[in-house]
Chains A and B, each alone.
Chain A
Amino acid sequence: MAERTIGWGPRSENRLIGSEVQRIDGVGKASGAAKYTADINTPGTLYAKLLTATIAAGKVTRLNVAPAEEMEGVHAVHVLNGEGAEIRYEGTLLAAVAAERPEIAEDAVRAIEVSYEPSEFFVDDDNLEAAEAAGRTKPQGENTQGDVEAALSAAKVVHKGYYGINTITHMCLEPHGSHCEFTGDEDLTVHLSTQNVSGTGGQFAGPLGIDESSVSIICNYIGGGFGSKFQAGEWGLACAQLAKKAGRPVRLMLDRSTELKIAGNRPSGFAEVTIAGDADGNITAWDSHHWGTSGINGSVVRLSLIPYVFEIENRNRKATGIVCNRGPNQAWRAPNHPQLSALTATAMDDLADKLGMDSYDLFKKNLDKTERPDVYAAEMEVGAKIIDWKAKWHPHGKGESRGGVKSGVGMALHTWGGRAHAAICQLKVHSDGTVESYGGSQDLGTGTKTIIAMTIAETFGIPMSKVKVHVGSNAYPKSGPSGGSTTVGGVSGPNRRASQEALWKIMDLVAAKYGVDADSVEAKDGYFRSGGKTICSWTQACRLIGPMPLEVQGTGPKDDGLTDQGVGGVQMADVSVDTETGIIRVNKFVCVQDCGLIIDLLTAKSQVLGGMIMGIAYALSEEQVMDNNTGRFINADLENYKLPRIGDVGELVAEMYQPDSEYDRGVIGLGEPPVISSGGALSNAVANAIGVRVPVLPMTPQRVLEALKGGQA
């Protein structure tokens, strides 16, 4: 009966897929048993500390590491940027020291003699005029479609505004770093905090002059990456060099301040926008120039994505990058999207205000300019109900003031790809009925291991306890890096394919043994059945496999309907703003999100909630603050780099939009989308509350007060 085609089963027959399943490594993580890279302490491990540049630009004129080398307990010193090296941003690594104890390594770092010849620097990324004057701008393209001038003169309302979003960092709680250990002559084992287990070995081999086949990469747990941990990093190579020199294992994790300065950030974006609409609220013209910095390479958020989600017929757009002496950027969860979403959705909301429209109606009116109007419309309806939009929205600033506290609602939309990355898995079914899956993937905390176990257990009709999932080693079949929401499709596809094929082989064995038609055999709840009759248990069937495990390889992605791409969602926020202190409270924050077939509803919701909280962070408090006088990153620590705490996030609702039409699309990634539209939604809610725009994110109390002052002037 069961047709032998690859595919997901009927939704109503799933036992596990689509339900809320606890993560399989939850107890290990919560009890502290899970070993992260930062926790690796093999016998003889030395501790490494770093000397970093304290200037934003210039040259190293002297670097004398001899005093460090001579210290007792110091086993190796490695120079990364010595005399004559050019410094282009604060935090640049100069030297690394490995010592018997961390405090000795710190002493040794302090003993190194260093001097610099500072030179001109520039860090002021929102100041386009100053950047131009300093010769720091880089054109990043300009293009046009339709007739903007004509559309502007025909428009009912034209709005011009300035908007911005500052640079933020990844702030992974486990910093970037590794533990490196040579065994034998040149076999290197690297415990690496990485999103790219299968793809990093070569980055160590070349510079160290060893074979790629000699490098083992291991990452069983990673304490946050968010797009910043795809490379070995100069610190990773330095760790390996120290281990080689010392002939001992070395652990080198970046200190918090260096982590923030050099291990990745998300480019800023500032824009002057002109947006126009007709009397019905149709957006008829868009003209924008955005600028910002990705640091020293001077690029900016992508030109081709603005205006975000909405395709406007008459449109000019231009982008300018600014070369700043700031640490290099790295992909940050949904690269480009959060910035462009904020720049677009805020301008749209201001246009609605000028047209005297509810911004919900303006967004709705223009959905025909998006790729998935029906899905967005349905999601907006769901979101509006949850947040009680109709009751809460009022013309901007016209709500009631309760002792100076004013409330408002706002929304924004987002989109993402989420296609499956390339991956292979090796599936083993043992004769006692236990199953193993091997793949060189990594679980960033998204639940990768859990969804692999669910996929296999669902396919075989067995409990998850019978499935062991092995990821986190480059000795296993290769898997793509975990970035861009590609992993859930990347690993579930191959594991489903391999499990289905393995199941068919076992069914053949069962059919032959019990004399039934193989096509009539079904596997469910730990038993094989045929024609309504139970034939044997899963364990009995597996005994037919024999002493060698049954092994099947699964690959992907394939065009067989298991995975898809293209998702969207809407976020709606309800906030209160204290107009005396400028403090914003999130009352309620809703995300309605589609993502195709959901494997684990529990971890899927966690992704959405986590995205929303990161969204609250960059909308309200976190940013890289550069000092124009010194070129230094002055809040490079967790105390002054403000992240929300447990009482700062309000009531959160993650509503998964999952009609059958979504299930039928197959699996699509979810990591990026829910972090995208938070900035726009929260900014619009604040504008709705106080009647003026706080143009730049994060909307710190000071910026709120400045905006209120400006609005009254």
Chain B
Amino acid sequence: MRDRKDQNESGSGFSRRDFLKGSSAAAAATAMATSATESPAQQSQSQGNVASAEARDVTLSINGQQHTLSLEPRVTLLDALRNDLNLTGAKDVCDTTTCGACTVLIDGKATYACARFAVECEGAEIQTVESLRNGSEVDEVIEGFVEHDAMQCGFCTPGFVMATRAFLNENPNASLEDIQKGLGGNICRCGTYHGITQCALQIAQKGGACSWLNERLVGDLVAKTA
């Protein structure tokens, strides 16, 4: 049998470091045109450089309600939502502002909640996935996710729902290509991209019609900025 190396150099003919570089080339291919906005909050936190400081009162406006919490400045919006307010629809998955499982809307814009400190969000209108449901009434995006079975384990799903809602608000007539780019800021491990695409496409083909919940939110925002 021939030597493994000269049969194909590609198998191991380069260093692991090179290989990581190769991986980033793959990232370029994945067109990560995320619609979510990032800030360096998490990076600095994950390096462990964020020192503790006195907790102070932070007032957050979430789904139209005011909440005052006593938080250290280094607490992320995601942790405040999940741990202090028990709003657990936004999930904590990657710690590195990569996956979108924590997507919320801040002043209508899709944002990774793990990329924002809670204190930074004072004065902003925060909308979580929980706002897209009122008893048995649900936002059209949720309906579409269920109709197209755009979920399996469901752990990425609330984040995807929020990303889709925000994306369709801004791109009501999105094309397939727009959707594939615009929802590139979220990751699903179970492989539900087909259903999500179908759901977004169907809503876009109807002109991205707003649900009552969304109209209410837009109304609130208009009132706020007026």
Contacts and interface: CB of A to CB of B under 8 A. Distances in A.
Nearest to A626: B16
Interface string A154-198: 000000111010000001111000000000000000000000000
A446 B191 CA distance: 12
B120 interface: no
Interface stretch (B180-188, B202-210, B217-225): B180-188
A107 B74 CA distance: 12
Contacts of B151: 23, 26, 29-30, 445
B94 A224 contact: no
Interface residues of B, number: 89
Interface string A220-244: 0111111000000000000000000
B26 A606 contact: no
Contacts of A62: none
Contacts, number: 282
A611 B191 contact: yes
A646 interface: yes
B226 interface: no
A38 B88 CA distance: 9
A127 to B, nearest CB: 7
A173 B72 contact: no
B10 A27 contact: no
Interface in B39-93: 48, 52, 72, 74-75, 79, 82-83, 86-93
Nearest to A641: B23
Contacts of B94: 256, 637-639
A556 to B, nearest CB: 24
A700 interface: yes
Interface in B142-183: 142, 145-147, 149-158, 161, 179-181, 183
Contact of A223 (B12, B89, B98, B155): B155
Interface range on chain A: under 10, 10 to 19, 20 to 34, or 35 or more?
35 or more
Nearest to A106: B48
B26 A642 contact: yes
B21 A702 contact: yes
A32 B20 CA distance: 35
B216 interface: no
B149 A22 contact: yes
B186 to A, nearest CB: 7
Contact of B154 (A38, A225, A445): A445
A91 to B, nearest CB: 15
A81 interface: no
Nearest to B139: A31
A30 B154 contact: yes
Contacts of B14: 702, 706
Would you list the 7 A-B pairs with minimal beta carbon distance, nearest first? Answer: A32-B89, A702-B22, A613-B191, A223-B155, A29-B154, A610-B191, A647-B180
12 contacts: A23-B149, A30-B141, A32-B89, A101-B83, A160-B1, A445-B154, A606-B192, A626-B16, A640-B23, A645-B193, A646-B180, A695-B11
